[in-house]
Structure 1
């Protein structure tokens, strides 16, 4: 490298910024609690019902609100102070998680009430997501933005590595209600940090809600690079949802495992995600986003073969590890592509549309493959999801390639 060639940004460069560092640590604690609650809810449903569809709907329930409410949340993030929006969302999720804890402790939980609480937490996630992702620009400089996005992904997946196994052990030792209660407490750290954070911002110019939403949809529809990113997000989200939605049923019916077994499988997925998040920046700079997204989808599809055809814990955990790396490589690359091609004044709306499309596809996929597992078998449902991923990855590389490095780019 010549002396005049700028060095690539450091993976850990965003930690130089105190605001990013504090929010990252608090968000890690919150994500840890969320993972513990997710394990508890999924496993609790396996104890309440034998229906694969209802079990898969626990995963879908966390993402359906993002599809239905995400675009409104994006308009809210652009029309109001994003820090206050995040505070409102975190406080709401704390209250819902506390009510879920109480209901479970009183042994009054049913499949429908569990789905209701899952949907309610999903509504908080839908409101929080666009404001949180758009606020990353307030925490770091433009040069460190892609690395900050990757580090946020690492925080989520560090929690995914430790949280599920910890959740499984908590459920086994002290019960599901205690796991839900720990999640309620985990929101407090991020709430305190947000109360102390006061970034310098220009007051947003408020526009009527429907007008604001229309502006975001219009930009995404007219921008060819953004439109292709959304297509890739939908295709991957729909196919990849099959694995996580059916994993609780797989552990119960195929492995005859316990909540600890389920937590270990999720922990392997999270560990792979952490490794993928650490490597994805270099891979994207070397091979480009299109090749990364295509190869990651194909790798995820390939990992579904041992999941569908074997019944050994070691092989499924190994497949989950590789799938986690492919998962985070795809979603981080798609997120960066959206951030770099969205105008700041409508950033929240653009990110909410991306979330609505990608996570909405995950909700649809979870329901579709759960229903297929009830009508056929778990193996057929998982193999079908793998087929969708593989075929869509190869086809979309031709008809909807990821934007090239400078195509439609608005952030230097």
Structure 2
């Protein structure tokens, strides 16, 4: 991105001017030119790797203790239930308080939870109720951590680099998702789940160190919301009055509630359909993460994206889930997880960036807490439903249902956004033309006789 038409004529550029100009240039990894963001990203890739190790070990531990996909669903639901119940309060705190201090507190709390679960597991005292409790406590910490981490990006890189930084955050997360399950599979098979929990707890030292080393003077100033009554209602009313925020968040809610319940149906496929072990489970998660990493890097390189790409990615994600659910062979099932991961991540990243860029600074914490709340907070609703469907009707039916719901939601929201934007679907089957396009309603009426 350019620094503006008047940048070249500015008198006596300072070193800060040159740094800002350099940071504003495009490129897949342009945000990494910024020191504070490098520290943030480096710490996050370490802790995210540990988090994915814990997720895989946690799912497999619960399955080993109970033999039930429903129990895995309950664990997932408990981890995300606090976001559903208290998510908007986390957004209020993120709008009011210094983000770096909030993140230091939440990252420390999440590390201690990992160490506690490690102690229980390595001592042999762990029960499924312990896992349920730790999952719920981790969810409580995430209520504040997630919106604070989302909006802290604006302070690290500024508005011009936000799209790139959001995409790189997703790539960071997916790199960890690629490494974490593979390492967890080896650890679970070799020495047990407890060591994965221990390494996760220790991994939070990296982001804490990165946050402490940041230069406060290089953070971008962001308007903070003052204390006041009715801030939750204010945030909801703000979103309700803006279709460009409301409908992407609705779509995120449907896909987060049903389409993203990977731990439930993936453990069921490994156990019931393909008769694999923890290593197989880790392999499938890694393949999906590889696709997700590709989707995130594509979004980072693309730069600014439109809502149209978000809807298309959501539809492709749902259709691919349907195809994967019906795949008869393991190799085909595994291979198709790569594009599932790519389109799922492309959808989430573009939706996240579009919503943040369309939101006023003082409202961003509350809007992003709502975004995260409907995305992960729907899991307490969808998790047990998908788990019950999987246990009752089989893994294929459970997964197929998730894909159908995601595809229908994408089509519905796409049509609503088109109507709100004054667009109509135009189908032109003539050779050399775009067969399916959205055009302004007036133009569609003019072209209708020619079609």
Is the structural similarity TM-score above 0.5? yes
Alpha carbons of 1:19 and 1:284: their partners in 2 closer, same or farther (altered >3 Å)?
Answer: closer
Q: Which deviations, in whole Å up to 9, do the C-alpha atoms of 1:76-131 show, x marking residues without a partner?
A: 11111111111110111111111101111122222222121112112222211111
Bigger Cα displacement from structure 2, 133-142 vs 267-276: 133-142
TM-score (norm 2): 0.83
1:96 corresponds to 2:113: yes
**Using the alignment, how far apart are the partners of 2:66 and 2:404 within structure 1?**
29
**Using the alignment, how far apart are the partners of 1:338 and 1:400 within structure 2?**
14
Q: Does structure 1 conserve the Cα–Cα contact (< 8 Å) formed by 2:94 and 2:148? A: yes
1:324 corresponds to 2:324: no
Q: What is residue 407 of structure 1 aligned with on the other side?
A: none
- Residues 72-151 of structure 1: matches in 2 within 5 Å? 72-151=89-168
1:207 corresponds to 2:238: no
**3-state secondary structure, aligned to 2:161:** helix
Alpha carbons of 1:118 and 1:282: their partners in 2 closer, same or farther (altered >3 Å)?
Answer: same
**3-state secondary structure, aligned to 2:216:** coil
Q: What is residue 284 of structure 2 aligned with on the other side?
A: 265
Task: Report deviation, 1:375.
Answer: 2.6
Q: Which deviations, in whole Å up to 9, do the C-alpha atoms of 1:275-309 show, x marking residues without a partner?
A: 01111245575xx5333223322322233245423
**Using the alignment, how far apart are the partners of 2:45 and 2:300 within structure 1?**
20
Q: 1:235 aligns with which of 223, 238, 254?
A: 254
Q: What is residue 73 of structure 2 aligned with on the other side?
A: 56
Alpha carbons of 1:25 and 1:323: their partners in 2 closer, same or farther (altered >3 Å)?
Answer: same
Task: Report deviation, 1:245.
Answer: 2.5
Higher helix share: 1
Q: What is residue 435 of structure 2 aligned with on the other side?
A: none
Give the unaligned 5+ runs of structure 1. 405-412
Q: What is residue 409 of structure 1 aligned with on the other side?
A: none
Alpha carbons of 1:81 and 1:8: their partners in 2 closer, same or farther (altered >3 Å)?
Answer: closer
**Using the alignment, how far apart are the partners of 2:145 and 2:418 within structure 1?**
30
Aligned pair count? 398
Q: What is residue 373 of structure 1 aligned with on the other side?
A: 390
Q: Does structure 2 conserve the Cα–Cα contact (< 8 Å) formed by 1:290 and 1:402? A: no
- Residues 7-406 of structure 1: matches in 2 within 5 Å? 9-200=26-217, 201=221, 204=224, 206-208=226-228, 211-281=230-300, 289-310=306-327, 312-401=329-418
Q: Which deviations, in whole Å up to 9, do the C-alpha atoms of 1:16-60 show, x marking residues without a partner?
A: 110001110110000000000000001111101122211122333
**3-state secondary structure, aligned to 1:143:** coil
Bigger Cα displacement from structure 2, 69-78 vs 309-318: 309-318
Q: Does structure 2 conserve the Cα–Cα contact (< 8 Å) formed by 1:233 and 1:354? A: yes
Q: Larger relative CO (CA 8 A, sep 6+): 1 or 2?
A: 1
**3-state secondary structure, aligned to 2:257:** helix
Q: Does structure 2 conserve the Cα–Cα contact (< 8 Å) formed by 1:241 and 1:366? A: no
Q: Does structure 1 conserve the Cα–Cα contact (< 8 Å) formed by 2:314 and 2:407? A: yes
**3-state secondary structure, aligned to 2:295:** helix
Measured on the aligned residues, the alpha-carbon RMSD in Å equals 2.3
**Using the alignment, how far apart are the partners of 2:347 and 2:401 within structure 1?**
20
Task: Report deviation, 1:168.
Answer: 0.5
Task: Report deviation, 1:141.
Answer: 2.9
**Using the alignment, how far apart are the partners of 2:122 and 2:199 within structure 1?**
13
Which has the larger Rg? 2
Task: Report deviation, 1:403.
Answer: 8.9
